[in-house]
Amino acid sequence: MSSRPVTISDFALWMGVEREIVSSLGARSLPDIWMDSRKITPGDLFLALPGEERDGHDYVVTALEQGACAAIVSSLEKIPGAFRDRVLLVHNPLEAVSAAARAYRRYLDIPCIGITGSNGKTTTARFLRTILEQNYRVGGTEGNWNNHIGLPLSILRLTGHEDLAVFELGANHGGEIFDLAEILEPDMGIITNIGYAHVGCFGGIEKTAAAKFELAEVLGLHQGVLYVNGDDSHSMEQMRHSAYAGLTMCTFGTSEAASLRAENVYCTSEGTYGFTYHGEDFHIPLPGRHFVYAMLPALALAESMGVDSDMVRSVLATLRPAPLRGEVRNTGQYTLVLDCYNANPSSMNAAFQMMHDMPAPSGRLVSISGDMAELGAYSDSLHRNCGAAAAEYGMEVIIHIGEFGAALCEGAMMAGMDQEVCHCFASKDAFITAAPQLLAPGDRILLKGSRASELETLIPFLTGEV
């Protein structure tokens, strides 16, 4: 259990509790808050959220019996009398906690950085935190808590000892980023790019761009600074057609139009990239050109906050790929590029480009892909576009497992690939059966798909472990 520089009484006041709490409870320091009763440890707070399938109020007694000091609830109906002196009654638990998170952020009064975009939020936040931690105590997003529930809880996890904090803002519908940014009230922001992730939920790429730039609207209210990908056409289009009063904007990228520019970009045989920034050389020991874009705003912010460039380089040297996010593994028979944590059109294109850029003496470029999720009515056309991108970046064999294989292969063939090297399968088992006729020693194989595709289950087969 962690404690914070405010009490449960302070927290209850911020939430607007509807009944008085006992003094012994109110005097406690604000502890960790969980919405999963299984994670409760003695002294924690339990957040009872109603849901479509489960109602958190059904687990209040369990959480209190496991040692929770109190539970945040909207009804006493399911709470036995013996436990009612250990509840914080509010009209809407999530709204109450969000209001308390905003109040706590104001109480701490430290610089906060908000990061959104279609791809690269977690990587950009990771780079930024790792670099800034050399000079500062840095807090931020807990795990993957970046949505309307996770962000308030992440803010409330700050201990009060941080010098600054870095938070991811995730969304799949319009209006959500605005609401999250209003809770966080960031001083600085980063929009990594605008792509087709969740485009089926947003309702189009223009609406996706408008949703991500809701961060700019809130930053403008606080005279904040926003870093935007200057090489991203959708971001630039949004900036051209919208006015954001009170906002300072900086662009980053590799083009001459970017004010924060990476120059002399090169790729190593491991797929890692190096570049020159403000006359100094940097190398990122992670495979993928997209890491250059994740690093640039981190470098700019680090520079503005006094982190020495030699220290930045020493930190970069320690970076390693997160599991399933660009790990390169040599099996003796194949070279595998394992990037199957997630997939959307932008990240697929980046992966194809990395495979193309990697210098190698021999071996075919092979793509094994799975369906990209949450594309809605755009699914066929965007899988078709990905097939075309695979062909344009020189992939020599395309293998797709899932519902949209025909569309992806069609796109590849329209871009000039032969039908004989384009293969689609309904299941992983079907691919495994055919694999001996499709793969050859020396192949460099990209494994890329959405989490729902579970392509990581193919790794033991491809490495010869089974």
Burial 379-391 (b: 16+ CB within 10 A, else e): bbebbbbbbbbbb
Strand partners, 444: 335, 365
Is residue 35 within 8 Å of 98, Cβ to Cβ? no
Q: If you compute the radius of gyration of the chain from its CA atoms, what whole number of angstroms results?
A: 24
Binding residue ranges? 117-123
Structure tokens at 426: 């309904």
Structure tokens at 201: 């939920």
Tell me the C-alpha distance between 173 and 198, whole Å: 8
Burial 178-189 (b: 16+ CB within 10 A, else e): bbbbebbbbbbb
Is residue 45 within 8 Å of 90, Cβ to Cβ? no
Neighbours of 83 (CB within 10 A): 17
Binding residue ranges for ATP? 117-123
